[in-house]
Amino acid sequence: MFPENLRLSGDLSAATRSADYLVLVVPTHVMREVCRRIAPDVRPEQIVINASKGIENDTLKRMSEVIGENLPLDNRHIATLYGPSHAEEVSQEIPTAVVAASSDLSTARRVRDLFLTDYFRVYSSQDIIGVEYGGSLKNVVAIAAGICDGAGFGDNTKARCSPVPWRKFHAWA
């Protein structure tokens, strides 16, 4: 199922040097270390695509910020590719939509074109900050919605726009 022009390698340094695009999909707590390891082999013209959702624990930085601090390239060459999506559904060619975001719209469009298929729709955006925060925080909102469901609250509670008096509920006191 891999494209014929995709080359696999166990040599991180060689793979980094030979690629036009680097796709980083690692746990957020090791992103900084992975970037430091590949930094000597990254070329300034390469495009680095982050697909790791989350915020760095110690610094509270977005992944594109961590990448930008640790790789020798201009931030215009950093992009983020975020869902919501499930890899197993993509592998089954179930229609999916995601966003390729970069501070540079031409980079976002290049990433869009790289991943776009008949069943994998990629939109492009310059709002890399919004895309990364949205992708990183959506699970927090989902957990809160699940708590509301578990507590027997309805949709009105989940959708409430004004502050909720949480102190009345022992679970959140």
Tokens 């070329």 correspond to what residue? Answer: 43
Higher-scoring residue by pLDDT: 134, 165: 134
Domain for residue 80, yes or no? yes
The domain of 133 spans 12-172
Q: What are phi and psi of 127, to 5 degrees?
A: -90, 65
List the CATH number of the domain containing 153.
Answer: 3.40.50.720
The C-alpha angle with vertex 38 and arms to 53 and 137, in degrees rounded to 5, equals 10
* Enzyme catalytic residues: 138
- Digit-coded pLDDT (tens) for 120-144: 999 999 999 999 999 888 777 778 8
What is the number of domains present in the chain?
1
Domain for residue 160, yes or no? yes
